[in-house]
Amino acid sequence: MPVLAFLSGCSKPEEIFEYAAPRDGVAKPGAKVSPAGPTQLLAAIIPQPDATWFVKLMGPASQLSGLGEPFMTLLQSLKFEKPEGPTFSLPAGWVRDNTNPQRFATLKIPGPGESLEATIIRLGAQAGSNLDNINRWRGQIGLEPIGEKELASTTKEISVAGKKAIFVDITGPGGAKGGPFAMNPSRQPAPQTNSPAKEASPRAPLNPSQKDQDLSVDIPQGWKEVPPKPLSLKSFQAANGTVDITITPLSGPAGGLGANINRWRGQVGLVPVDNAQAETDAKPVASTAGKALLVDLTGMGPGAKAIIAGIVAKGPDTWFIKMMGPAEAVGKEKSNLTNLIKTLKLPGM
């Protein structure tokens, strides 16, 4: 199987297509997909006693779909222990830029295509409701506003620094970029949640709970299932808790094969290489779920970490079965991971 063809999208940048069925809701009337393709937005609303913090990343979906894991890693690293603002750990390759005084932090993200940046912004404790802010973001990527009844299916509650926070991952055709502040609710158009036309609109793919019900996994002996990590449907631990295994579906090509492998290289301390060279690390592996690839990466020196990951493209999603931990422990679990990939039954099978 040609590795270069796996996880690659087919697009014609010079054309603009009608966008009739966005992944996360109903597009605004007349909305078009930009030449770069749909726009994706990852964001978190993090309430604190004296402020509300917003962490946001927006850009072409083809570039962001591989950044969900490092974005979530950033959120999980936040600590609100100092009055001037949170401390956090930068994901591999990300660079902090403090040139914009309106932001607490701007994080530059290297990679091919459009220049990307994540932002961390502090607003007052009364920074608009979750619905106000999420509808503002939906407008920025070309989606219609939603009502209170639809909010739960659009957001996910996560824990950040020991407190409840709201996480959002939405994709739309693109739209005018808005400022960092929520719209005044009295000036925001009320969404028509009972519109017959909207009820008949195409729906998003299966939600995570439905996918989880349809996902069949033969758990290897010695592995322990644990609460799923953010974005993942299932999580396991092995080797006395030193090795983490996650099963995560992402939409579309998920950023591309080379970009994902380079991100994993950074996580085990290896330098990035060009995407074509990175793709040579992916080897075909047997799986009942369909065409699959296996990536085996090991860092250098004392305390080296390793990642072994399976990648399966199935329908509209790309599935990642990833194992990470100390290199020696990961190596001993490789046969268990490959057997899991071999017998994996994905939704729709």
**pLDDT band at residue 349 using 50, 70 and 90 as cut-offs:** low
Total residues found in the chain within this entry: 349
Whether the pLDDT of residue 13 is over 70: the answer is no
Q: What is the mean pLDDT of residues 228-239?
A: 85
User: Would you state the pLDDT for residue 186?
Assistant: 33
Strand partners, 59: 40
Looking at 43-52, 125-134, 194-203, 235-244, which range is the least confident one?
194-203
Whether the pLDDT of residue 88 is over 50: the answer is yes
Q: What is the DSSP letter of 249?
A: E
82 Cβ neighbours under 8 A, 6+ residues apart: none
Q: What is the mean pLDDT of residues 320-332?
A: 95
Number of H helices, E strands in the chain: 10, 14
pLDDT, mean over the chain: 77
Q: What is the DSSP letter of 163?
A: E
User: Would you state the pLDDT for residue 197?
Assistant: 30
pLDDT, tens digit (0-9, with 9 covering 90-100), for 100-154: 877 899 999 987 767 899 999 988 766 678 888 888 888 888 888 888 888 888 8
User: Would you state the pLDDT for residue 42?
Assistant: 94
CA–CA dist 184, 207 (Å, integer): 31
User: Would you state the pLDDT for residue 172?
Assistant: 83
Q: What is the mean pLDDT of residues 301-312?
A: 91
Q: Tell me the CB-side half-sphere exposure of residue 82, using CA atoms within 13 A.
A: 6
Domains annotated for the chain, with CATH where assigned, are: 3-199 (no CATH), 208-343 (3.40.1000.10)
Looking at 67-76, 247-256, 273-282, 331-340, which range is the least confident one?
247-256
In order, the DSSP letters of 102-119 are TSSEEEEE--SSS-EEEE
User: Would you state the pLDDT for residue 258?
Assistant: 83
Q: Is the dihedral of CA 347, 150, 64, 94 positive or negative?
A: negative
Q: Which residue shows structure tokens 């978190």?
A: 44
User: Would you state the pLDDT for residue 6?
Assistant: 52
User: Would you state the pLDDT for residue 305?
Assistant: 93
Q: What is the mean pLDDT of residues 193-204?
A: 30
Whether the pLDDT of residue 22 is over 70: the answer is no
| Nearest partner of 37 among 57, 9, 56, judged by Cα | 9
Whether the pLDDT of residue 338 is over 70: the answer is yes
Helix (H, G, I), strand (E, B) or coil at 228: coil
Q: What is the mean pLDDT of residues 77-101?
A: 90
CA–CA dist 263, 76 (Å, integer): 18
User: Would you state the pLDDT for residue 181?
Assistant: 36
Q: What is the mean pLDDT of residues 17-43?
A: 55
Between vectors from CA 89 to CA 333 and to CA 130, what angle results, nearest 5°? Answer: 105
User: Would you state the pLDDT for residue 264?
Assistant: 86
